[in-house]
């Protein structure tokens, strides 16, 4: 077996370890694969669900939510935690409507606040803090988002950030586009800050987990 085949084999193995999930989630995975639409996938979704359950999250904010796949995992955790709200944010009205349909089919829509707007701006407008923030916005915007995240995440809260391996582009010093620079810089910002304890899980395209210590 070639080394190149190992990541795909590992991802398939991890995805197959995820317990059976709602048929609507399965349908979303099938649609995403057919359309080439990026979602975090079963293994990463299950990690997000587990973390939300472990910290007893009641208030969750998503910076970038797509058609609601990650939202569904987080909303399920809220339901099992006894309730709360997860904020779904996406620029595209069609994606927002699609997410509402999926989450309604899973009887989770009552836990979701839907925002069709720029995600960092919506987070900045919130008056209360959150237990967990999940980020999957444009990668060049990752560094600028950190100040707002620190204003809206409670001390002891958890940050989850997707695409921290960025299709392996972060490993190639010849690649220096704005998105790749954004991922690299954001990773360093978390690692060098006394406000955070963080680590990158090499699962799918890399998930950063950050524990916020506060200012």
Instruction: Give the rounded distance of the alpha carbon of 17 from its chain centre.
Output: 20
Whether residue 144 is predicted with pLDDT greater than 50 in this model: the reply is yes
Rg of the chain over all Cα atoms, to the nearest angstrom: 17
Q: What confidence tens digit (pLDDT) does each residue in 103-120 have? A: 999 999 999 999 999 999
Whether residue 134 is predicted with pLDDT greater than 70 in this model: the reply is yes
Listing from the earlier edge strand, what are the strands of the sheet with 85-89?
Answer: 112-115, 85-89, 59-63, 130-135, 153-161, 207-212, 196-201
DSSP 3-state of 152: helix
| CATH code for the domain of 119 | 3.40.50.150
- Average of per-residue pLDDT values in the chain: 94
Q: What confidence tens digit (pLDDT) does each residue in 16-61 have? A: 999 999 999 999 999 999 999 989 999 999 999 999 999 999 999 9
Whether residue 3 is predicted with pLDDT greater than 60 in this model: the reply is no
Q: Which domain covers residue 208, as residue numbers?
A: 5-212
**Number of domains present in the structure of the chain:** 1
């Amino acid at each position: 077996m070639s080394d190149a085949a190992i990541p795909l084999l590992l991802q398939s193995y991890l995805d197959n370890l995820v317990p059976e999930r709602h048929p609507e989630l399965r349908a979303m995975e099938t649609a995403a694969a057919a359309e080439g639409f990026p979602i975090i996938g079963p293994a990463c979704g299950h990690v997000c669900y587990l973390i939300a359950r472990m910290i007893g999250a009641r208030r969750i904010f998503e910076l970038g939510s797509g058609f609601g796949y990650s939202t569904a995992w987080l909303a399920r955790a809220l339901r099992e935690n006894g309730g709360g709200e997860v904020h779904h944010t996406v620029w595209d009205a069609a994606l927002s409507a699609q997410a509402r349909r999926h989450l309604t089919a899973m009887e989770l829509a009552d836990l979701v606040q839907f925002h069709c707007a720029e995600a960092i701006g919506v987070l900045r407008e919130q008056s209360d803090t959150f237990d967990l923030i999940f980020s999957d916005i444009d990668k060049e915007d990752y560094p600028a988002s950190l100040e707002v995240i620190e204003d809206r995440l409670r001390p002891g809260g958890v940050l989850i950030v997707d695409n921290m391996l960025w299709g392996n582009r972060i490993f190639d010093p010849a690649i220096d586009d704005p998105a790749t620079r954004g991922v690299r810089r954001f990773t360093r910002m978390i690692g060098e800050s006394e406000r955070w304890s963080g680590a990158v899980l090499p699962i799918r395209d890399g998930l950063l987990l950050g524990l916020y210590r506060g200012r």
